[in-house]
Amino acid sequence: MSESVPVYFDSFRLGEIEVGEGGELDFTYSETWLATRGAFPLSLKVPLRAGPHSPDIVTPWLAGLLPEEQQLTLVARSLGLARTDVLAILREIGADTAGALSFGAPSDRAAWSYTPLTELYSEADPSAALEAHLEDLGRRPLLVGEDGVRQSLAGGQKKSALAVLDPDGHPVMRLPREGDVLAVARGGAPSTIILKPDNPALPGMVENEVFCLRLARAAGIASVEATALAAGSRSAICVLRYDRRITASSRLHRVHQEDFAQTNALPPGLKYEMGTVPGLTLAGLLETGRALPPADALALLDQVIFNILVANSDAHAKNYSLLVPIGGGPRLAPLYDVSSVLPWDQVNQYFAQKIAGSKRKPGDTAARHWDAISASAGFRPADVRRRVRTLIDRIVANRVKTARAVTALPGVVTGHVTQVSELVEQNALRIGGRLRE
């Protein structure tokens, strides 16, 4: 072996990633971690046992923590590293990642600090500071190069991980309220929210995602808390991190997680099923839920159904996750990253996985397709059809109320909310009308 990088949970050494002579990566748990009460695995594919774990599993899992596409290129260029050098990039930015782990150095609570955006950008007005931050993300993704900031978020969109501080300067687990402060985490401190800036190429993106996530909650599906934030002439989606907790002693705590691509040892490039090398199928996605408690497996089915009903064509394998808490078995993470493709004709309208073995638009899903999904995943077709009907009824019943609530948020354009809410209802009703076909 030519090099090794330690992996930590807080100050606990989980193990070592070792780099072979040919550049392959494997992972070995530390003996201390294996003997620790409540120890959790790096991944469900990396069980708690002695000895090295295969590069075929470890390498794609690590890659799943990094940004993708242009964001990864910009980060790698800023660091002076090859975008293919996954471990070197993680060693530089992997202090606050998805889940609970840090790379290269332990998380030292004594070194944690938070810098308000108003201070970072020398702006007295919080809205102006947030607008400056959104602009900054276009120049340096994840604030790479900022002193003491080491964060990594997966995906190809521009994103930022921030912390919400109460008026006394303490981090809190809630969406921002009047008097709260948005701040950048330094020294390995955990963030508590994720921001996604608006996108001129996708008008109404903020309204779309906030509406869909709130509609899911109204329909009884566990989903991340989401709101819209106004930032001068811009806006952003703000979601509360589901992989962070406040303990009984008021300490901020990370919870381990992995997305379904990582759980299935798939690199980010295979998060969609389509392609010359196919990624996770709908049957494979639902089969992943068999590692969860029965109630969570059914909740996963609800997530899949909801994504089809609202026409979230980007519901790929990295948009489903599970949580791996200390001393407990895996649980399904709340629904996240949901938006309807219907307002944007220029965007791919086909679902991320084949539906009943064929490339389909969500609105074309008929009863026989639901039956095929049921058969492939071991569910009773009648039960799945019944669940589809129930969720359609809940979407229709809650659509207007949810749209009104989103319209009342700061910086929201009413027309965008009206458009997406009506298109989602139409799509759900179209699918409902085909439940007898």
Flag whether pLDDT at 21 surpasses 80: no
Please calculate the CA angle 38-88-14 and round it to the nearest 5 degrees. Answer: 15
Q: Order of strands, edge to edge, in the sheet holding 234-240? A: 113-116, 181-186, 160-165, 193-197, 234-240, 226-231
Q: What is the CATH code for 255-433?
A: 1.10.1070
Q: Given 3-state DSSP classes, what are the helix, strand and coil percentages for the chain, each rounded to the nearest 5?
A: 40, 20, 40
Residue 379 DSSP class = -
Token pair recorded at residue 84: 């293919």
Token pair recorded at residue 408: 């009342």
- Give the per-residue pLDDT at 1: 42
Token pair recorded at residue 61: 């899992």
| CA pair distance 67, 185, nearest whole angstrom | 18
Flag whether pLDDT at 32 surpasses 60: yes
Rounded to 5 degrees, what are φ and ψ at 236? -150, 150
In the three-class reduction of DSSP (H, G, I as helix; E, B as strand; rest coil), residue 280 is classed as coil
Write out the catalytic residue numbers.
Answer: 314
Rounded mean pLDDT, 226-231: 97
Orientation of helix 205-218 relative to helix 414-433, angle to 10°: 50
Confidence band (pLDDT; 50, 70, 90) for 346? very high
Flag whether pLDDT at 437 surpasses 80: no
Per-residue pLDDT tens digits for 76-131: 999 999 999 999 999 999 999 999 999 999 999 999 999 999 999 999 999 999 99
Torsion angle of the four alpha carbons 113, 117, 123, 128, in this order, in degrees rounded to the nearest 10: -170
Per-residue pLDDT tens digits for 298-336: 999 999 999 999 999 999 999 999 999 888 899 999 999
Per-residue pLDDT tens digits for 400-419: 999 999 999 999 999 999 99
Flag whether pLDDT at 30 surpasses 80: yes
Residue 3 parent element (H or E): strand 3-9
Please calculate the CA angle 343-66-48 and round it to the nearest 5 degrees. Answer: 120
In the three-class reduction of DSSP (H, G, I as helix; E, B as strand; rest coil), residue 226 is classed as strand
| CA pair distance 328, 344, nearest whole angstrom | 42
Nearest to 391 by CA among 346, 342, 429, 352: 429
Q: Whole-prediction pTM value? A: 0.96
Per-residue pLDDT tens digits for 126-176: 999 999 999 999 999 999 999 999 999 999 899 999 999 999 999 999 999
Using a pLDDT cut of 70, give the percent of the chain over it: 100
- Give the per-residue pLDDT at 2: 60
Flag whether pLDDT at 223 surpasses 90: yes
Token pair recorded at residue 139: 């120049």
Per-residue pLDDT tens digits for 174-199: 999 999 999 999 999 999 999 999 99
Orientation of helix 86-93 relative to helix 55-63, angle to 10°: 50
Token pair recorded at residue 23: 């550049």
Rounded mean pLDDT, 53-65: 96
The mean pLDDT value of the chain amounts to: 95
CATH 1.10.1070 placement within the chain: 255-433
Token pair recorded at residue 206: 């903020």
- Give the per-residue pLDDT at 22: 79
In the three-class reduction of DSSP (H, G, I as helix; E, B as strand; rest coil), residue 309 is classed as helix
| CA pair distance 335, 319, nearest whole angstrom | 8
- Strands (DSSP E) contained in 97-190 are 101-103, 113-116, 160-165, 181-186
- Give the per-residue pLDDT at 327: 84
Token pair recorded at residue 267: 């690199």
> Is beta strand 25-29 parallel, antiparallel or unpaired with respect to 113-116?
unpaired
Confidence band (pLDDT; 50, 70, 90) for 275? confident
